Structure 1
Amino acid sequence: MKLGLALGYWGSGPPPGVEEKVAAAEDLGFDSMWSAEAYGSDAFTPLSWLGARTSRMRLGTSVAQMSARTPTATAMAAMTLDHLSGGRAVIGVGASGPQVVEGWYGQPYPKPLARTREYVRIMKDTIAREKVTSDGPHYPIPYPGGTGLGKPLRSTLHPYRTDLPILLAAEGPKNVALAAEIADGWQPLFYAPRQDGHYRDSLEEGFAARGGRPDGFEVVCMVQVVVDDDVEAAADRIRPFLALYIGGMGARGANFHYEVFARMGYPDDCARIQDLYLDGRKDDAAAAVPTSMVEEISLVGPAAKIAEELPVFRDSLITTMVVDGSPEHLRQIVDLVG
């Protein structure tokens, strides 16, 4: 299991100390760094800026929002980054949710699976320097109607490599199966290694559809690691994050993160967390997150406890565990992982 550094997306501005973290991760032998975007900072610019300060770490998006760019534009950014970094780009893409897609990007959300399939195919054709065409219906190329002057084009940029990895962020069973069918890897957001049977089933369904599991298929997952002699104090640092996603990152009946934890066996807790969060009682929502829920997807508590639980994650589907923290914390994680 490799280690990756989580860059995430910015809050009100660039996160302090990020360059020191990246330098520490490179020195500690981390395999990769991963940026994100929602409706603030973008995913590609930080990778270019910070990647120029490294020589070895892979540069991954976790994730680039599909609705932020056309598939050809995402492929252009990917190929450009891959050239600048000497073949270190890894592009994770995701459909996001209707609140962000329609409320920020002004794009339609329905049929996310069909849109994703079409999007990834166009990206692959672009990177392979094919003349890009698509019958749509989501990303028709050339654009139907208009001036009528559009024609199929081939990228003027020759790719650094035509097998540039494309990963798919997915949480629902059908989307996970799609990742296994069309992508080079899967990016879960919340993954419980002790309860991953349904994920394994979905992946196998997708591999069967593509004719077998491809070599090098990746599973890249963020795992929060909090070392503290007090387990509850460690869990308290993660509860607000889970409350935000379960309670606030979506609407009632349309929150994919909520559904992930409900499938883990926490439907009543999820309902309470969401009710409290949507009522504006965010602190109470965080307090309602059970410690056991935190421990399903995180490593929290004394170093000895984390070392004891690490084999569960190491022996899971995860190929790259993405973590965050100060340079000192990153060194501690490396010592624990071994």
Structure 2
Amino acid sequence: MSRWGITIPLTGVPLPAHRELVEQLPDLGYTDAWSAETAGADAFSPLLLASQWAPSLRLGTAIVPVYTRGPGLLAMSAATLAECAPGRFVLGIGTSSPVIVEGWNAGEFTEPFARSRDTLRFLRSALAGEKVTESYPTFSVNRFRLERPADPAPPVMLAALRPGMLRLAAREADGAITNWLAPTDVPRIREVVGPDLELVARIFVCPTEDAEAARNLGRMLISSYLTVPVYRAFHDWLGRGEALAPMHEAWAAGERKKANAVIPDEVVDDLVVHGSPQRCRERIQSYVDNGLTTPVIALLPTGGDPLEQVRALAPR
């Protein structure tokens, strides 16, 4: 194991109350803290605090949507955090989803592959401190230059699920970020990106020995996420299309309870890590053994103390 990450902030824990835990993460064996961005904390603020609380942690966004900030603002936010954590910040970008982009942020979710490619190319130039005047296929930038470019410029990783985006990450980014996969899916991803690219995955972890409770929570998450078209296509590609077909049929019919009920236990157990902390650590390690570079734990609520659970899931 070379890297071991945790998603912050933790569900139900106020952001300022993370300080003691974050300060302890390096001594517990965690190397990374990664944020997400949906409708809770923004992606950058928790990492800005962590950069001061634990100066040895690597920090990453997984992910910042390419649609919800203008290109210049995205570059400024990344450069600011990179200045506060020199050499320790990774900017992870991705498309997010139509619900977040259009329903919550009044944007247009159009040409996701092209928009990701163009944003990646813009950021390469902008974060290097170059003056950018360019008409990309999906947007134009005129005479933008960062006033405070970070040195070194942060690496940029790309969220990717299927071969097209994975190949783009391998060709033009510093790494690929994925999620909702089983340990046995990692070699399939590696076939596309190659053996050397850093591969980051958020792994949903429910540290409880109540398997029924863990599976019920897992089913709710799976039906919420994997019915999104891009995730449906991802799991069709991974070979779960037949197993998940009853869920999709029930979901399309508006039968949400049935959609949850027909998800097989095997699928839940593949995609959600649960059990004792020791069992969870072993399962997370199996992702690494199959070719994952950086596992990032996303702790699911069990009713227990999340701060203690993070300590229990530490690699040492």
1:63 is matched by which residue type in structure 2?
A: I
2:185 is matched by which residue type in structure 1?
A: Q
Asked whether the 8 Å contact 1:324–1:330 carries over to 2, the reply is no
Larger RCO, structures 1/2 (Cα 8 Å, 6+ apart): 2
2:203 is matched by which residue type in structure 1?
A: V
**Superposition deviation, residue 315 in structure 1:** 1.2
1:226 maps to 2:218: no
- The DSSP-based 3-state class of the residue aligned with 1:198 is helix
CA distance, structure 2, for counterparts of residue 45 and residue 266 of structure 1:
36
Asked whether the 8 Å contact 1:9–1:43 carries over to 2, the reply is no
Asked whether the 8 Å contact 2:162–2:234 carries over to 1, the reply is yes
CA distance, structure 2, for counterparts of residue 294 and residue 309 of structure 1:
14
1:96-149 CA distance string (max 9 Å, x none): 22333233333332322121111111111011111212122212122xxxxxxx
1:244 is matched by which residue type in structure 2?
A: S
1:297 maps to 2:271: yes
1:186 maps to 2:176: yes
1:169 maps to 2:162: no
1:234 is matched by which residue type in structure 2?
A: A
Asked whether the 8 Å contact 2:72–2:144 carries over to 1, the reply is no
Distance 1:40 1:108, change over 3 A: same
Q: Compare 325-334 and 165-174 and name the one that shifted more.
A: 325-334
State how 1:81-230 maps to structure 2 within 5 Å: 81-142=81-142, 152-162=143-153, 164-204=154-194, 213=196, 217-230=197-210
Distance 1:198 1:92, change over 3 A: same
User: What is residue 3 of structure 1 aligned with on the other side?
Assistant: 4
- Stretches of structure 1 lacking an aligned partner (at least 5 in a row): 143-151, 208-212
CA distance, structure 1, for counterparts of residue 95 and residue 198 of structure 2:
19
Asked whether the 8 Å contact 2:59–2:89 carries over to 1, the reply is yes
Of all paired residues, the percent bearing the same amino acid is 30
State how 1:50-89 maps to structure 2 within 5 Å: 50-89=50-89
Q: Tell me which structure has the larger Cα radius of gyration.
A: 1
User: What is residue 239 of structure 2 aligned with on the other side?
Assistant: 265
Distance 1:317 1:45, change over 3 A: same
1:170 is matched by which residue type in structure 2?
A: A
State how 1:27-46 maps to structure 2 within 5 Å: 27-46=27-46
CA distance, structure 1, for counterparts of residue 183 and residue 9 of structure 2:
22
2:32 is matched by which residue type in structure 1?
A: S
**Superposition deviation, residue 227 in structure 1:** 3.5
**Superposition deviation, residue 17 in structure 1:** 4.9
**Superposition deviation, residue 188 in structure 1:** 0.4
CA distance, structure 2, for counterparts of residue 274 and residue 90 of structure 1:
35
**Superposition deviation, residue 54 in structure 1:** 2.1
**Superposition deviation, residue 183 in structure 1:** 0.7
Distance 1:49 1:310, change over 3 A: closer
- The DSSP-based 3-state class of the residue aligned with 1:123 is helix
TM-score normalized by structure 1?
0.80
User: What is residue 145 of structure 1 aligned with on the other side?
Assistant: none
- The DSSP-based 3-state class of the residue aligned with 1:187 is strand
Q: Compare 271-280 and 113-122 and name the one that shifted more.
A: 271-280
**Superposition deviation, residue 243 in structure 1:** 1.8
**Superposition deviation, residue 304 in structure 1:** 6.1
1:31-76 CA distance string (max 9 Å, x none): 1111111245321122223433222212211111111112222111
- Stretches of structure 2 lacking an aligned partner (at least 5 in a row): 300-305
**Superposition deviation, residue 185 in structure 1:** 0.8
CA distance, structure 2, for counterparts of residue 42 and residue 10 of structure 1:
14
CA distance, structure 2, for counterparts of residue 153 and residue 238 of structure 1:
44
Asked whether the 8 Å contact 2:187–2:290 carries over to 1, the reply is no
CA distance, structure 2, for counterparts of residue 32 and residue 110 of structure 1:
32
User: What is residue 314 of structure 1 aligned with on the other side?
Assistant: 288
**Superposition deviation, residue 94 in structure 1:** 0.4
CA distance, structure 2, for counterparts of residue 291 and residue 323 of structure 1:
21
- The DSSP-based 3-state class of the residue aligned with 1:52 is helix
Asked whether the 8 Å contact 2:9–2:18 carries over to 1, the reply is no
**Superposition deviation, residue 182 in structure 1:** 0.9
TM-score normalized by structure 2?
0.85
State how 1:323-334 maps to structure 2 within 5 Å: 323-325=297-299, 326-334=306-314
